[in-house]
Amino acid sequence: MKLWPLVRRWWAVLVVLIALLIWWQAFNYLVDFRDPDVPYVPTPNDVVKAMFELGEVTDKDMVYDLGSGDGRIIVAAGRDLGARAVGFEIQPELVAQSEIAIREAGIADRVQVRRGDLFKQDLSGATVITIFLKPIVNVQLRPQLDRLRPGIRIVSHMFSMPGAKPVRRISVKSVETGMDHNLYLWVTPIEWDY
């Protein structure tokens, strides 16, 4: 019996399996990077400061910013408060911009940005979560937020979370924009109306 035809067939099967594995990994990687749920609109710096005050952020906190844009919230958390922070952003150009801002601020040891879909992130490492998302997107976060341990503070810029009763709501007049900005605070476990 000749072994060469069996070896050739085995190698052909192996090559096809490797190609399928590579394709599957590439497919799964690309699926995470869909169009963003909301357009990027930067939070004014004075509103960022007010968000930190509302959430009582300190150097002991791990801040997660969902839809972190240019990284201004995570950079401010690390630079101004000494907190650790992670931003989650789906747009590659904003991730690159954030990485530059983190390096320039010299805080890469405690602040990072990750490219990915915010609905696929494990939020359990956070002590504070900041968001500037539409109300419908905020509500879609409910499964992730309901899994969090008690005491996690969630601070939203501008938009509420329909069905979720905030612990506190304030309005801040931004010097930068000249507008009033609503801020909402929830603490886990969130009290839902339904």
DSSP secondary-structure letter at 43? P
Whether 63 and 74 have beta carbons less than 8 Å apart is answered as yes
The tokens of 16 are what? 């096809």
Taking the C-alpha atoms of residue 69 and residue 81, their distance in angstroms, rounded to an integer, is 19
Q: Per residue of the chain (194 residues), what is the pLDDT tens digit?
A: 565 665 567 666 666 667 767 766 655 555 456 677 788 999 999 999 999 999 999 999 999 999 999 999 999 999 999 999 999 999 999 999 999 999 999 999 999 999 999 999 999 999 999 999 999 999 999 999 999 999 999 999 999 999 999 999 999 999 999 999 999 999 999 999 87
The residue extents of the domains of the chain are: 1-31, 45-192
Whether 75 and 95 have beta carbons less than 8 Å apart is answered as no
The CATH number of domain 45-192, selected from 3.40.30.10, 2.40.440.10, 3.40.50.150, 3.30.1490.20: 3.40.50.150
User: Can you give the pTM of this predicted structure?
Assistant: 0.83
